[in-house]
Amino acid sequence: MSMSERQSRQPVGAPHHLLSDEAAAELSSIPTEVINLGDAPPLAPAGALTQGEVRAILMSLLLAMFLAALDQTIVATALPTIGRQFGDVENLSWVITAYLLSSTAVAPVFGSLADIYGRRVMIIVSLSLFVAGSVMCALAPSLLVLILGRALQGLGGGGIMPIVQTVISDVVTPRERGQYQAYFSGVWVSAGIGGPILGGFFAEHLHWSMIFWINLPLAIGALTLLLPKMAKIPVYHRRRRVDWLGGVLLMSAAMAVMLVLTWGGNRFAWLSPTILALSGAAVLLAVSFVWHALRAREPFLPLSLMSGTVVPWAMAGGAFTMGAMIALTVHMPLYYEAVYHLTASQSGLALIPIAAISVFGAAFTGRAMVHVERYKRIAILGTGFAALMALAIALLTPLPLWLFLTLLSLCSLGLGTVFPVSVVSIQNAVPRPQIGTATGAMNFFRALMASFTVAAFTAILLIALGGDVQLGGGEQRHVVGSVAAGEMVAGFRWVFGAAALMLAASALCIVVMEERKLAGPEPTLALPD
């Protein structure tokens, strides 16, 4: 009997119907090059974990993820204080850029290493790097050391997200996994809202170094909760030779792309020699990575993993939605202050409909996936509805603030539906020994799309408002004072229209994506055909 036949006969039902140890061992021994997307085992073994142990693991994973999310936002409000202490304002942006660059570049690396060396080892490594970077930042005697510490922090923070999602896939069946995505979304919303507030409080009333010292007890608490339970989590990693050259090429290409998207149109003109050189380097490194991956016996990121009828479409659908949401979050304060004359703090509160309401969409979808068979229809309807709301805003703006926030909330509710569907579909479609690799690649492409969309929306505004307007480098107040509200409304009509197109593209990707049966408890409801 072939492996695929044995897998197809595995019982599908409650989480206690598990893949046998013999089948799991046989699967993990298969060389990477002969594993295909159809080889994924039907169920995620829960081993001897009790519900209490699963909850303890979940809490520790959420705490670890909160660390990574918090340090993307907590530093921003403390930057003026840090700049005054070190007497260097010009290079302050690197305190944030260094973290984003390193965390984005290493996401697929940590995902792949988790499939090679195991989740336990890599979560320890990522949290240790994060803590070491935090200590380095807190004790930094100069801005240069602080920037290097932030880069080290990013190396750890970039590994936390894919490893956390991979561990969840090891202990929860795909059908039940979607409902946990809402908790993860909630963590990011909490960090996005609470980070700037907490950073400003520390900088004003205590000392800016507390921004980094607070990471130590949180990281120790996460490890203390998680490590005793990790021994009971099923083991799916497969030791193999690490393709370090492929990993270096992938990270280098990612960093070049991120620098182009971060600096282009802001620090340097898009056609400046610096941006052109970085763009050329990014293309050369990307082509080199693909060439190497096609020839390597066991590539760092198997390109075959990115093919098929599920993975590429699910990744694209999630990336389009993530890009639209992040780009709107970045640019909306400018719209609020210029059109509705809100203060900076009021603009921050007005961002809640974009970030927080999406959690409810993700929570509803995740719970619905446990009960319905045609799960992707929820994401199709949700993203399609979100696209219509974004289009309505583009066509009807300017609107009364209450109506604008209502439409924006409805848009956010719809776009939140795609995240559980895309994550679970990807993890349900790939072999167990490669779930970490696929999850890391998913987070990597989402981060790249978010950076690309922020740059694209900025370019749209620059074209609409005139080439002499500068949107970066802390010039927001200058823009608000120099651009008429009517001009800002006209410019943002194009931004909302672009967001609608991205959400429509996301819905189309989910339509094209194959809807495979999710492993786990049988659904109790079926949506009509």
Name the one residue in this structure whose structure tokens are 């602080």. Answer: 146
CA distances from residue 81 to 84, 100, 141, 206, 333 in whole angstroms, order as listed: 5, 21, 14, 11, 22
Distance, CA of 521 to CA of 354 (rounded, Å): 33
d(CA 180, CA 67): 18
Fill in the amino acid letter for 277.
A
pLDDT score recorded for residue 239? 66
For the stretch 171-185, pLDDT in tens is 777 777 766 776 777
Instruction: Give yes or no for residue 291 having a pLDDT over 70.
Output: yes
Instruction: Indicate if the pLDDT at residue 197 is higher than 80.
Output: no
Confidence (pLDDT) at 517: 80
Alpha-carbon distance of 417 to 356, in angstroms, equals: 13
Structure-model confidence comparison of residues 260 and 525, the more confident one: 260
Q: What is the pLDDT of residue 18?
A: 37
Query: Residue 208 carries which DSSP code?
Result: T
What is the predicted pLDDT for the residue at 295?
82
Tally of residues, the chain: 529
Interval 308-317: pLDDT, tens: 888 899 999 9
CA distances from 361 to 73, 329, 403, 411, 417 (A): 23, 17, 20, 10, 5
Q: What pLDDT does 24 receive?
A: 42
Query: How buried is 234 (Cβ within 10 angstroms: 0-12 exposed, 13-18 middle, 19+ buried)?
Result: middle
CA distance linking residue 163 with residue 180, whole number of Å = 15
The per-residue pLDDT for range 322-338, each reduced to its tens digit, is 889 888 888 888 888 88
What confidence tens digit (pLDDT) does each residue in 208-222 have?
888 888 888 888 888
Closest by alpha carbon to 253, among 149, 101, 150? 101
Neighbours of 343 (CB within 10 A): 10
Q: What is the pLDDT of residue 164?
A: 83
Q: How far apart are CA 372 and CA 377, in angstroms?
A: 10
| 90 vs 505, higher pLDDT | 505
At 519, is the pLDDT very low, low, confident or very high (cuts 50, 70, 90)? Answer: low
Residue 427 C-beta-side C-alpha neighbours within 13 Å: 33
Q: State the pTM of this model.
A: 0.76
Residue 5 has pLDDT above 60, yes or no: no
Predicted local distance difference test score (pLDDT) of residue 261: 81
Residue 4 has pLDDT above 60, yes or no: no
C-alpha R_g of the chain: 23
Mean pLDDT, the chain, rounded, equals 77
Task: Give the relative orientation of helices 51-70 and 143-171 as an angle to the nearest 10 degrees.
Answer: 160
Q: Which domains does the chain have, with CATH numbers?
A: 49-231 (1.20.1250.20), 243-297 (no CATH), 301-517 (1.20.1250.20)
Least confident of 306-320, 384-398, 476-490: 476-490
The distance from CA 488 to its chain's CA centroid, rounded to whole angstroms, is 30
| Residue, of 373 and 10, whose pLDDT is higher | 373
Q: Looking at the predicted structure, is the pLDDT value of residue 141 above 80?
A: yes
